[in-house]
């Protein structure tokens, strides 16, 4: 992912929409967002998640690219550049509710809560020209339990099928064998 701006921004609502039930309520805190990113040149990167109004105030004097209409299979999104290629200041310590900063691969794992939050990926020094390899993941609650249950049910179905085949094979052999053996054959 490359942008000539100083940051890439994603609304966490893009991820929350994946988990909304029919009434539109999110199971607050159970859905987890994981963002991994690494600068292509190996330099310092910052990944942060903060309340929307705080992140917007931080981004206002600089430039950034907003990712909208995020789809995962295959990965597609629309982007909107705001503010050209101006640099961003260093963020304050209280800006993010979750963040990771450093050289190489960085990761943030955060429970998506209610409210409006934004995720930001930027160069560690706030400079324009963000060139990163980024991965976004959403972990659903109870997914592991459903997978285990499906494997158990599938295994039981296979065993039941093998048992039924073995019983049919055995029943076929029993019918073809004569109960009297060779006693009915003529004597020579």
State the average pLDDT for the chain.
Answer: 82
Residue 160 has pLDDT above 90, yes or no: yes
Number of domains in the chain: 2
Which phi and psi angles does 103 have, rounded to 5°?
Answer: -80, 150
Using pLDDT thresholds of 50, 70 and 90, give the confidence band for residue 96.
very high
Clarify whether residues 92 and 130 are in a common domain: yes
Residues 24 and 53 in one domain: yes
Q: How far apart are CA 71 and CA 106, in angstroms?
A: 23
For Cα atoms 36, 40, 41, give the angle at the middle one, nearest 5 degrees: 130
Overall average pLDDT of the 111-131 stretch: 90
Q: With bands split at pLDDT 50, 70 and 90, how would you rate the model's confidence at 77?
A: confident
Q: Is pLDDT at 24 greater than 50 in this prediction? A: no
Residue 187 lies in a domain: no
Range of the domain at 47: 2-141
CA distance 104 to 102: 7
The CATH code of the domain that includes 64 is 2.60.120
Please indicate, yes or no, if residue 11 is contained in any of the structural domains.
yes
Q: Is residue 44 part of a domain?
A: yes
- Residue 182 belongs to a domain: no
């Amino acid at each position: 992912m490359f942008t000539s701006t100083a940051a890439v921004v994603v609304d966490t609502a893009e991820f929350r929409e994946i988990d909304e039930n029919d009434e539109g309520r999110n199971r607050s805190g159970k859905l987890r967002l994981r963002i991994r990113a690494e600068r292509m040149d190996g330099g310092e990167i910052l990944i942060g998640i903060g309340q929307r109004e705080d992140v917007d105030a931080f981004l206002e004097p600089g430039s950034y690219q907003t990712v909208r209409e995020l789809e995962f299979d295959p990965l597609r999104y629309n982007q909107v550049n705001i503010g050209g290629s101006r640099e961003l200041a260093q963020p304050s310590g209280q800006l993010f509710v979750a963040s990771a900063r450093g050289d190489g691969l960085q990761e943030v794992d955060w429970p998506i809560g209610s409210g409006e939050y934004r995720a930001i990926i930027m160069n560690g020094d706030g400079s324009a020209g963000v060139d990163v390899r980024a991965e976004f993941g959403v972990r659903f609650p109870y997914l592991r339990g459903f997978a285990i249950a499906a494997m158990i049910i599938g295994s039981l179905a296979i065993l039941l099928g093998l048992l039924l085949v073995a019983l049919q094979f055995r029943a076929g052999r029993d019918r073809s064998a004569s109960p009297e053996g060779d006693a009915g054959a003529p004597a020579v």
